[in-house]
Structure 1
Amino acid sequence: MEERLQKLLSRWGIASRRRAETLIRDGRVCVNGQTAELGTKADPERDRVQLDGRLVSPQNRPAPLYLLLNKPIGVVSTCDDPQGRTIVLDLLPDAIAQGQGLHPVGRLDADSTGALLLTNDGDLTFRLTHPRYHIAKTYRVWVRGYPPESALKAWRRGVLLDGRPTLPARVRVLKRDHANGRTQLETVLTEGRNRQIRRVAEQLGYPVEGLHRTAIGPVQLNASAEEVLPPGGYRALQPSELKALRTQLDLKSVLVRSNLKEHSG
C-alpha cells in the first residue's frame, strides 16, 4: 500500500515527519531513482527509497533509541539550524547523533530548559505530538510579580489564544521570591501550542522570566536526588518509563536500547 514518503521515513525511524519533509524539499530522497517531491508516495513492498543515495527500508533501519535530555538554555530543539546555532544533536556523541535517525519530540524554545525526548521511533513521536493524546507536561515557571488567585483560576480554566481557549491546566504557586519580585509556579499542560505558557502569562500580566520542563508524562527529568541530569546531560529511558509512556499512548511495548550510559554533559 502506498504511503506518503515523509510518513514512511518517520515510521522507519529515519527522521521525524518535519525533518523528512525538509529532506524531501532538499532533493535528498529518491524513489525508484527519481528525485521525490512533497506529496510523493511509495509502496514499501515494491518501491526503492533512497536517502543521499543510500537504500533505506524497514530492514535496515537503526535499532529503536529513546533518550531523555536536559536541554540547556540557548540550544534549539531541531536537527539543523540555518542560523548556525547549537542544536540538541550537538550535545550527543557523533556515534549516537549521526546515522540513527534521532530527532527531538516536539520543541522547547531556545530560551527554555529541561526535559526533551529524543528518539528515532516515528510512531512514538507522532502520538506524543498529536493533540488527540493529551500527554501532560510539567513545568516550573518563574513569572514577574505575584499573580493573585483570580489570575491563577483564569489560567486553570483556559485563556483565549488565537481565538480559541486553552485547555484546562493545573497551576499552583511553589514559592514567592520577594527579594526579586517574582513567583515560581508549577504548571501542567495537556496541549502544546506555540510558546503557550509565555503567551498566557503575558496576557494575564505576569511575564515569564524562566521556564523549565520537569516531566513529560510519566518520564521525570530528575526522578531522585541520585538521578539528576545536569544541563546538556542525557540518559536512556528506563524500560519502566517507556512502558508507562507507551501505555498512555496506547502503543505496544518494545525493548529499550539500554546500552547507553548516562552522560553528564
Structure 2
Amino acid sequence: MTNREERLQKVIAQSGVTSRRKAEQLIVDGKIKVNDKVVDELGSKVTANDKIEVNGVPLEKELPVYYLLYKPRGVISSVKDDKGRKVVTDFLEGISERIFPIGRLDYDTSGILLLTNDGEFANQLMHPKYEVEKIYVAKIKGIPSKMELGQLRKGVKSDKDILKATNYNILSTDKKKNTMIIEITLHEGKNKHVRRMMEQLGYPVMKLKRERYGVLTLDGLKPGEYRALNPKEVKQIWNKASEIVK
C-alpha cells in the first residue's frame, strides 16, 4: 500500500487477515482501531502511515504474494488440520507471509490450487459471479452414452444445487475395465462439483485432477511442487474477475 488513501476494509482484506465482507463487519462491531481510536464507520480511509489494529492485534503490512501449488491427493486444502493430516501450506516451506488457499480442492483431488496473503484478491476470485474457466480430468467408473453426457451441459440436480459443465471432452474409454477418462470444463465451482455431478448420473469418479485454472496450468510442476505467479498472470486473473463482478 502506498501513501494514498484506501478504504479501511480493503486494507484489512489485503493483509490476509480476513475477507473484505468480514472486515466490514469487524468495523461495524467496533473491533478496529486506527491510530489507537476505534473506527466503526464503513468508508473510512487510511494510508500506509496509519497504525491499524484488528481485535487488538496490530495489522502486519505484508507485500502481497501469489503462488500456484500442484496439490497432491491426500492433502487438506487448509493451513491447519485438527486431525494432524498434511495441509497444502506444508509444501510451501520458507515462505514468511501468512498465506492461505483460495477456495478448496477435495482431499482426494489433485491439481492446481492458488495460495496468497491477499484477502481482497482471494475474495474476488471466490465471488459467486466469478466465472473463471476451470478444467478437470476425471476417471469415472462406467461408460456413459452421449445422451447422458449431454446432461452435463443442461444441468444435473444434486440436493438443492443444479450442477453444470460448460463443456466436456472424452479423452479415452476402456471397455474391458469399464472406465472412461473425461475432460470437464466448469465456470462455477460448487462443493465437490464434478464428483456430485457424475455420481448423480450414475458414474462415480475414481480419480480427479484440476489441470487448468483460467490461464494457469501445471506445466513444469510435479505433485507437491509450487511456483510464484508472475505479475502478468496475477493481472490477467484480477482483471477477469473485476470485469465479471462489476
Give the TM bin, normalised by the shorter chain: 0.7 to 0.9
Give the equivalent residue in structure 1 for 2:186: 189
Same amino acid, percent of matched pairs: 34
Question: 1:249 Cα deviation (Å)?
Answer: 1.5
Aligned-residue RMSD, C-alpha: 2.8
Distance 2:216 2:182 in 1: 20
Task: Give ranges in structure 1 of 5+ residues lacking alignment.
Answer: 25-29, 34-39, 252-265
Secondary structure, counterpart of 1:154 in structure 2: helix
TM-score (norm: length of structure 1): 0.74
The residue number in structure 2 matching 1:261 is none
**What is the correspondence of 1:1-265 to structure 2 with a 5 Å cutoff?**
9-10=12-13, 12-17=14-19, 31-32=32-33, 45=46, 48-50=52-54, 54-56=57-59, 60-93=60-93, 95-96=94-95, 98=96, 100-222=97-219, 227=220, 229-250=221-242
Q: Which runs of 4+ in 1 moved over 6 A?
A: 1-4
Following the alignment from structure 1 to structure 2, what is the Cα–Cα distance between the partners of residues 187 and 16? 32
SS in 1 for 2:242: coil
- Structure 2 spans left out of the alignment, 5+ residues: 1-5, 35-39
- Cα offsets for 1:42-85 (capped at 9, x unmatched): 8564774157x7521xxx42111111100011110011211111
AA partner of residue 53 (structure 2)? V
State whether residues 139 and 207 of structure 2, in contact with CA within 8 Å, keep that contact through their aligned partners in structure 1.
Answer: yes
Give SS of 1:250's match: helix
Query: Using the alignment, how far apart are the partners of 2:225 and 2:131 within structure 1?
Result: 27
Aligned mates of 2:186, 2:17 — CA distance in 1: 26
Whole-Å separation in 2 of the counterparts to 1:203 and 1:172: 19
CA gap 1:168/1:14 in 2 versus in 1, 3 angstroms: closer
1:6-40 Cα deviation digits (max 9, x unpaired): x7532x3233539x89xx9xxxxx6459xxxxxx8
Structure 2 letter corresponding to 1:241: E
TM normalised by structure 2 equals: 0.79
Equivalent position amino acid for 2:237 in 1: L
Q: What is the aligned length? A: 222
